[in-house]
A and B are shown apart, each in its own frame.
Chain A
Amino acid sequence: MTGTVTPTERIFNLAAYLKHCGPEGSTLDDLTRHVAGYAHDAGRDETGKLVTGTPEWETLRKVMQRDLKDLREVWGIDADFDERDHVYRLRPPFFTPKERAALIAAAATVDVEGIDGPPGQIGSGVSDTVADVVIRVHALVGDLRDAIDARTAVTFVHQGRRRTFHPYALGTWRGRWYVAGWDPELETMRRYRLDRIETETTLERVEGEPFSIVEWFDPDLAFELDPNAWGRDQLVRAQVAVDHDFLNAVVEEFGATVQEDAAGSGRDVVAFDVRHYEATRNRLFAFRDHVRVLTPPALVAMMRDHLAAVAGDLAAAPEGD
């Protein structure tokens, strides 16, 4: 049997046999006796038992160690040696077959561009022509992930200024990648859009400056990038009239609720909280004349004043404002 078995075949036979033995495991004696490819008769006494401490035993043990190393490093198949029972046992798989199948299905549907895993890893063998969703990952995501994992500060150039930053979390909002964390110079939580970090100056890790993520850090809140969630203006509830065809888009844009009393008028009224007046004004301009702010008066004034000033129509601007 051993004569025609290559080292590769022997290693696969070993994996299959260990799987076959299950949680009971198998001794070196058993493995080298039954797995095709090992010298079955070497180092055994007259009863067929492998004699420990002999040169043949040592050779078999070394071959076994090498084969197990190959299984671990190339195939991720790991067998522990139980010192008490003197048996080799496979460690349980990291993913169940169903979990792996689910991940492969996800990888086939969602193509993640910008991260190339090594060949043979789960999800690397799918055809990228069948993916229905393509997500582009920014080039800095991998390095920032490493820094978060190591709790190591980084420096980068953002809008012409070098900043030191403690990265806590990565995330996307409306198709763009951000990093959230603590800015020790400004002593505040900050978010930076990765495509505004100057990649040509590279991201540098500040070794020897470890940090801890503060307990109160909330990743969901950190990536709530709607200006009306984080803005500092006095909270007001806006009511806005919307032409019916633009209702969905306004609701989506502002997380607005539709007012019940507007049904059937051809123009709906929505309401939403405003914490950032200027950003709200600018976002409303995307809907042109299909929206009109109804209340509160302060927001109405802001819209009117701005439009009047831009139009050069000073007569339309209210006195005293």
Chain B
Amino acid sequence: MALSKQRQFEALRTVLGMVEEQQALPLAECAAAVGMTTPALHDALRAVLLVDFYDADGHLVTESSAFLLTDDGVLSMAESHWLRDLAATPPTAESALRLLISGVTMQAITTAATPDLDSAVRKLRGIVAAELHIDVAVPPALSTVRDAIRRHRSLLVRYLSQDRDESTERELLPLRAWSKWGHWYLTARDATETTPKQFRVDRMLEARVGSLDFDPPDDVEVPEWFDLSEHDRTVRVRTRAAALESLPAPHRLGPTTDLGDGRVELDITVLGDRRIEQLLLCLEPDDEVVAPPEYAELRRTHAARLLTRYDGLAAPGAS
């Protein structure tokens, strides 16, 4: 059964976008993406593969070169597609917002000049019609990390792990740098180990390209998520409701019980021993640690330990 014009357009628009944006794709994959059989998509593609005719002056009007179907069933595009080149309508507000966020982020993480991206972003700002302020952190070591990845060379870093008080020197075989959850990570294998790990790029105190060459694997996947649940640390406290605003981030708040005296009782969960220590110190002295009892003791001993840092400093007001 012949496809309706609208259905044909829908499928072609999607496939055209996929192929232009990924350069080459098997026809079967494109067909699956638009819910068609491969022969049906092949038929539908004829309309864009063979735009080819003579005008009144006998000149050949052809646009077929922008979209090619190889004998082995791969759709490819050598350059941008002429149909997309002609699009005069701006993207929808939703698409513009998505593109603006990716464009602004790209501007922040790219070291080279990006005049085409800059002008595109200016146009997108006009469509989005709302001030958008994207804060992109770019750790100082990132450019060196990327350089090492590009050159397939090891990376020498002085690295400060979250749970350590001193940095360590490491030689890493860098595989892929990526950013998720607001942080930059490097998937890398320690030169002395066999299993890749994730390293926070902002914890690399120094970084330089090493001299060890290596062959990276073809495909290094970005983790979907980290299971950090074993690092959850939960404390039940009684505190002023207003004080919750100024707790150090990140943290998770449990349901609150109003104690009727301006205070609330609730569970607060943070990740790791370091963060629970910080949280306990940030509570006001008259806040109560309800449970577990060992956190009440930890709070006192940790405060006492830090207090020793101020031994010998002149008391306020002293000359």
Residues of A near any B CB (own CB < 8 A) = 1, 6-9, 11-13, 15-17, 19-20, 30, 33-36, 70, 72, 74-78, 90-112, 115-127, 129, 131-137, 141-142, 144-146, 148-149, 168-176, 219-220, 222-223, 245-249, 252, 278-279, 281-283, 285-286, 288-290, 292, 294, 297-298, 300-301, 303-304, 306-313, 316, 318, 321
Report if A102-B300 is in contact (Cβ < 8 Å); known contacts: A115-B97, A118-B92, A133-B109: no
Q: Are A133 and B178 in contact (CB under 8 A)?
A: yes
Report the tally of A-B residue pairs with Cβ distances under 8 A.
358
Q: Are A74 and B46 in contact (CB under 8 A)?
A: no
Q: Are A17 and B133 in contact (CB under 8 A)?
A: no
Residues of B within 8 A of A96 (CB): 116, 119
Q: Are A125 and B17 in contact (CB under 8 A)?
A: yes
Interface residues of B in 39-64 (CB under 8 A from A): 44, 46-48, 50-51, 53, 55-56, 59, 61-63
Q: Are B166 and A306 in contact (CB under 8 A)?
A: no
Residues of A within 8 A of B283 (CB): 310
Total B residues in contact with A, Cβ cutoff 8 Å: 115
Min distance, Cβ A78 to any Cβ of chain B, angstroms? 4
Residues of A within 8 A of B316 (CB): 297-298, 300-301, 304, 318, 321
**What is the CA–CA distance of A179 and B187 in the complex, to the nearest angstrom?**
33
Q: Are A134 and B222 in contact (CB under 8 A)?
A: yes
Residues of A within 8 A of B120 (CB): 95, 99-100, 102-103
Partner of A97, one of B85, B109, B308: B85
**What is the CA–CA distance of A98 and B117 in the complex, to the nearest angstrom?**
8
Stretch at the interface among B189-197, B208-216, B229-237, B273-281: B273-281
Report if A103-B310 is in contact (Cβ < 8 Å); known contacts: A170-B131, A173-B135, A288-B274: no
Q: Are B93 and A149 in contact (CB under 8 A)?
A: yes
**Chain B residue nearest in CB terms to A36:** B53
Judged by a CB distance under 8 angstroms, whether B18 is at the interface is: yes
Report if A169-B133 is in contact (Cβ < 8 Å); known contacts: A110-B101, A175-B181, A278-B246: yes
Q: Are A286 and B106 in contact (CB under 8 A)?
A: no
**What is the CA–CA distance of A174 and B44 in the complex, to the nearest angstrom?**
47
Q: Are A285 and B278 in contact (CB under 8 A)?
A: yes
Q: Are B205 and A245 in contact (CB under 8 A)?
A: yes
**Chain B residue nearest in CB terms to A18:** B86
Partner of A70, one of B9, B137, B301: B9
Residues of B within 8 A of A106 (CB): 99, 102-103, 105-106, 117
Min distance, Cβ B279 to any Cβ of chain A, angstroms? 9
Q: Are A171 and B133 in contact (CB under 8 A)?
A: yes
Q: Which 5 residue pairs spanning A and B have beta carbons closest together?
A: A175-B182, A171-B133, A169-B131, A120-B13, A125-B17
Partner of B305, one of A102, A112, A289: A289
**What is the CA–CA distance of A246 and B165 in the complex, to the nearest angstrom?**
9
Q: Are A282 and B248 in contact (CB under 8 A)?
A: yes
Residues of B near any A CB (own CB < 8 A) = 5-6, 8-10, 12-14, 16-22, 44, 46-48, 50-51, 53, 55-56, 59, 61-63, 79-80, 82-95, 97-99, 101-103, 105-106, 109, 114, 116-117, 119-120, 123, 128-135, 137, 140, 160, 165-167, 176-183, 202-203, 205, 221-222, 246-249, 274-275, 277-278, 281-283, 285, 299-301, 303-310, 313-318
Q: Are A105 and B278 in contact (CB under 8 A)?
A: no
**Chain A residue nearest in CB terms to B245:** A159
Min distance, Cβ B41 to any Cβ of chain A, angstroms? 13
**Chain A residue nearest in CB terms to B164:** A245
Partner of B123, one of A95, A170, A174, A303: A95
**What is the CA–CA distance of A19 and B55 in the complex, to the nearest angstrom?**
12
Residues of A within 8 A of B278 (CB): 282, 285-286, 288
Report if A93-B85 is in contact (Cβ < 8 Å); known contacts: A106-B103, A145-B97: yes
Q: Known A-B contacts: A141-B97, A279-B246, A304-B316. Give 9 more (CB < 8 A).
A: A16-B62, A30-B56, A94-B90, A110-B106, A125-B19, A144-B130, A245-B160, A252-B202, A310-B303
Q: Are B246 and A318 in contact (CB under 8 A)?
A: no
**Chain B residue nearest in CB terms to A320:** B317
Min distance, Cβ B211 to any Cβ of chain A, angstroms? 25
**What is the CA–CA distance of A108 and B99 in the complex, to the nearest angstrom?**
10
**Chain A residue nearest in CB terms to B285:** A309
Residues of B within 8 A of A127 (CB): 22
Residues of A within 8 A of B282 (CB): 281-282, 285
Residues of B within 8 A of A168 (CB): 131
**What is the CA–CA distance of A98 and B118 in the complex, to the nearest angstrom?**
11
Partner of A132, one of B53, B178, B315: B178
Min distance, Cβ A313 to any Cβ of chain B, angstroms? 6
Residues of A within 8 A of B301 (CB): 311
Residues of A within 8 A of B47 (CB): 6, 8-9, 12
**Chain B residue nearest in CB terms to A147:** B130
Residues of B within 8 A of A144 (CB): 130
**Chain B residue nearest in CB terms to A8:** B47
